[in-house]
Structures are given as structure tokens and as C-alpha cells.
Structure 1
């Protein structure tokens, strides 16, 4: 019974302690909830302030964007105006160059910058005018403005030969008459020109045939030359074979040389003693001398390459 009472007392004491701890935790929880509510309230106020500031910034951004679009629109309009002015300037320059180009040469030599100081013998001049493709290169605003500034500093003199539209109309009418005359002459010379082209074509074809014939003839001659060269080489080979064998044995062999030396010795011995009474062998030796000289002449008449 005492143990049970002690256990009940311990349990009651634990319950009291837990109740105190529970009350303390509840108090802290309420304080945390109060602090969290305060934090949420302050954070909401800050968020509302930031949202208000963001809306104000967005409104200002929209206003700036509208202002920027207005500037862009104005700049685009100004660029278009500049492009139109530059196109007008280019067209006027081209038209002025054309009017100066078609003016008489005597007037151009006095007023045209490109012909000033040149001789009177100038009759024709090649010119190049600005086209739409060339205008694409002037789309850079800075370059366009700089070029216009340079031209405005030193403008071309306002001197033109054609001052009335009738003068240009007369010029174009003259060109039209010249073109009509050219077409008339072209229609008259078209048939002879075509006939001449046909004749030239026939002549080229005949020339080609003649060239083919001559080429065939030349090939035949070359074939004959090759055959003659072959025969010549064959005969030369035979001749050298005869020369190196039979002719050598009969002319340049040691026995022939010995015979030649013997004949010369006998000749000298006989003719050296003719005054001593050996007149009977003089005539045969004369004949041998003639034959020997003829033999030497025949040897000398041979080709040097063959010998």
C-alpha cells in the first residue's frame, strides 16, 4: 500500500510538472504566433509598398517606352526624308551629268570640269551614270550626310546648255530619226549579211575539208619519208658491213698495205735508176702510177663519215 501511495504521488507530481511545462510551451507558442502574425503584417506592408513601387516603375517604363517609340518613329520619318532627299540629289546629279554629257563638245570644253583644257580633237567619251543598284551603297546615313555636306561645300556650277524642254525634245527626236534610219539600213543589209554568214560558213567547211585532205597528203608523205629513212638506214647498215669486211680486207688489210709499200719501193727504185738503162720497165710503172693515183682519187671521193 505504501508503494502504491508513493507511485501515485510521483505520478501526480509528474502531472503537475508536465502541466507547468505545457503551460510554459503554450505561452511560448502564443508568443511565437503573435510574432509571426506581426512578421506577416510587416511583410505584407513591405510587399504592398514594393508592389506599389513596381507599378510606379512599370508606369514610368511604359511612358519611357512610348517616348522611345515616338523618337523611333520620328527618327524613321527623318531617315525616310533623308533617303528621299538623297535619292532626289542623286537623280538630279545624274540628270545634270546627262545634260552635260549630251551638250555640244565646244560648250563642254568651256564649262565641263572633265573636259576643261583638253584638245579640240575629242569627239567621243565614255560615261557611266548612277543606277538604282549604285544607290544601295548610299544607305549608310553617316556616309550619305557626309557626302552631301562635301557636295554642298563645293557645289557644281549651275550652267546648262539645254535651258528649254524643246531643245531636249528636238534631241530625242533626232535620236529617234537616227534610230529609224539605222533600223532601215539594218533591214536592207540583213539579207546580204545572212548570205555573207552562209558563205563564211561554207568557206570554213571547205577550208576544213581542204585541211583534212592536205593533212592526209602530209601523212602519206611522212609515211614515205619514214620508209625512205628506213631503207637508207638498211642500205647504210649493209654498206658499213661491206666496208668493214670486204672493203677493209681489200684496201686496209696488212697484206694490202705491204703491197702498197712494195709498189712504192719498186717505183722509186725503177724511176730512180731510169737514166742507167732501165727504160723497159718505165711504161709499166707509168701505168701502175696512173692506176695508183686513180685508186687514191676514188678513196678521196668517198664520204668522210663512211671512211
Structure 2
């Protein structure tokens, strides 16, 4: 029973503590709810103030935008006016250039700035076509205004040769008559011109055929030249082969060199040594031949007894030399 009473008391005490803690949590929650409501109220006020400021700024922005559009439309109108004025200026310059160009040369030399100080003749001047870059530059308002300002500072002369429209009409009528005369002459010369063209074609064809024939002759001549070159090379090859074989054996072979040495030796023994040397074998051979003929003539003029005596002496000398050689060999 005591344990049960203690347990009930503990439970009641726990309930009381939980109730106290619950009350505290409820009070804190209420306080948080009040603070959150206060925060929402203040934030709503700030948001409303910001929205009012944004609406005011948007209203001012719309007003500024409408004012800007007004300025843009005004600027566009002004730019269009400037473009129109620039186009009119260009057209007027073209008209002035045309009127200056069709005026007489004597008047242009006095009043046209392009012909002052030049000879009295038609002088063609090089021009340039307008490119995309030039068109882009013409859209530049500042450049356009600057060019117009410079032209207004230094304006061109306002003198014009043609004062009345009838003068220009007369000029065009004259040009029309000249064109008609030109067409008449062209119609008259059309048939001869066509005949001339046909004749030119025929002459061109004939010249082409003649050129083909001439080219054929040139090719045949080139073939002959090539054949002659081949024959020349063949003859040259044969000549060098003969020169390197027969001529070598007849002039620079070992036998020829031995003969040359022998002739030079005989020449030195008989005549004497030649200091300058001989360019060929003909000179010493001629000299030896003359001396040999002279020697034979002298031998023919000798007495037969003297010849036999010399022969016997020569044989006796040879016999003596052979005996001496035989004895020397026996002694060895």
C-alpha cells in the first residue's frame, strides 16, 4: 500500500511538473506568436512602402521613356531631313558636273576648276565606283555635316553656261540627230562589215593552215638537224676510237717509243746531242737518211781492194774478240 501511495505521489508530482513546463512552453509560444505577428506587420508596412516607391519609380520611368521616344523620333526626323538634304546636295553636284561637262571647252577652261591650266583637248580622268565602305561613310551624320560645312566654307562657283532649258533641249536634239546619223551610217556599213568579218575569218583560217604547214616543215628540219647531230656524234665517236687505238699504237706505243729512243741515240752518236730536242722523228730520220745515202755513195766510190781489206780486218777483230771471250769463259 505504501509503495502504491508513493508511486501515485510521484506520478502526481510528475504531472504537476509537466503541467508547469507545459504552461511555460505555451507562454513562450504565445510570446513568439505575438513577435511573429509584430514582425509580419512591420514587414508588410515596409513592403507596402517599397511597392509605393517602385510604383512611383515606374511612373517616372514610363514618363522618361515616353520623353526618350519623343527625342528619338525627333532625332530620326532630323536625320531623315539631313539625309534628304545630303541627297539633294549630291544630286545638285551631279547636275552641276553634268552641266560643266557638256559646256564648251573654251568656256570650261575659264570657269571649270578641273580644266584650268590644261590643254584644249578632251582629257579623260580616272574615276572610282562607290563601294560598301563609301556607303557606310555616307551614313555617318558627323562626317556628312563636316563635309557639308567644308563645302559651305569653300563653295564652288555658281556659273553655268546654259541659262535656259531650250539650250539643253537644243543640245539633246543635236545629240539625237547625231545618233540618227550614226545609226544610218551603221546600217549602211553593216553589210561591208559582215563581209570584212567573213574575209577576216577566211584569212585567219588560211593563216592557220599555213602555220600548220610551216610547223610541219620546221618539225622536218628539226628531224634533219637531229639526224645530222646523231651522225656527227657517231663520226666523232669513231674518230676518237681511231685516235685512241690506231693513232696511239702508231705514235705512242712502246715499239714506237723504243724506235724513237733508238733513233735519238743513233742521232746523238753520229751528229751530237740536240739540246732543244725534236718535236717529231722526221727531222733526225731525214738527217740520218741523208748521211746514210752519203755514206753509201762514199762506199760505192771506194776501191774494191780497200773494201775487202776492211772486211777482213773487221772479221779478224771480231774473231779476236770471240777468242778472248771464249778464253775468259774457260777460265771462269
- Structure 1: tracts of 5 or more residues without a match: 279-307
Is structure 2 residue 178 aligned with structure 1 residue 178?
yes
Residues in 2 aligned to 1:9 and 1:244: alpha-carbon distance in whole angstroms: 153
Residues in 1 aligned to 2:89 and 2:214: alpha-carbon distance in whole angstroms: 68
Q: Which moved more, 1:226-235 or 1:89-98?
A: 226-235
Go from structure 1 to structure 2 and tell me whether the alpha carbon gap of 1:4 and 1:229 turns closer, same or farther (over 3 Å shift): closer
Equivalence for 1:117: 117
The answer (yes or no) to whether the contact 2:137–2:143 under 8 Å persists in 1 is no
Residues in 2 aligned to 1:110 and 1:172: alpha-carbon distance in whole angstroms: 24
Offset at 1:209? 1.2
The answer (yes or no) to whether the contact 2:109–2:117 under 8 Å persists in 1 is yes
Return the TM-score normalized by structure 1: 0.77
SS of the equivalent of 1:44 reads helix
Equivalence for 1:69: 69
Return the TM-score normalized by structure 2: 0.72
Equivalence for 1:99: 99
Cα RMSD of the aligned pairs, angstroms, is 3.2
Alignment of 1:211-226 (within 5 A): 211-226=211-226
Offset at 1:247? 6.9
The answer (yes or no) to whether the contact 1:103–1:161 under 8 Å persists in 2 is yes
The answer (yes or no) to whether the contact 1:94–1:130 under 8 Å persists in 2 is no
Go from structure 1 to structure 2 and tell me whether the alpha carbon gap of 1:28 and 1:169 turns closer, same or farther (over 3 Å shift): same
The answer (yes or no) to whether the contact 1:100–1:161 under 8 Å persists in 2 is yes
Equivalence for 1:42: 42
Matched residue count: 275
Equivalence for 2:162: 162
- Structure 2: tracts of 5 or more residues without a match: 264-280, 302-332
Is structure 2 residue 75 aligned with structure 1 residue 57?
no
Go from structure 1 to structure 2 and tell me whether the alpha carbon gap of 1:256 and 1:164 turns closer, same or farther (over 3 Å shift): farther
Offset at 1:236? 4.7
Residues in 2 aligned to 1:63 and 1:38: alpha-carbon distance in whole angstroms: 38
Offset at 1:190? 2.0
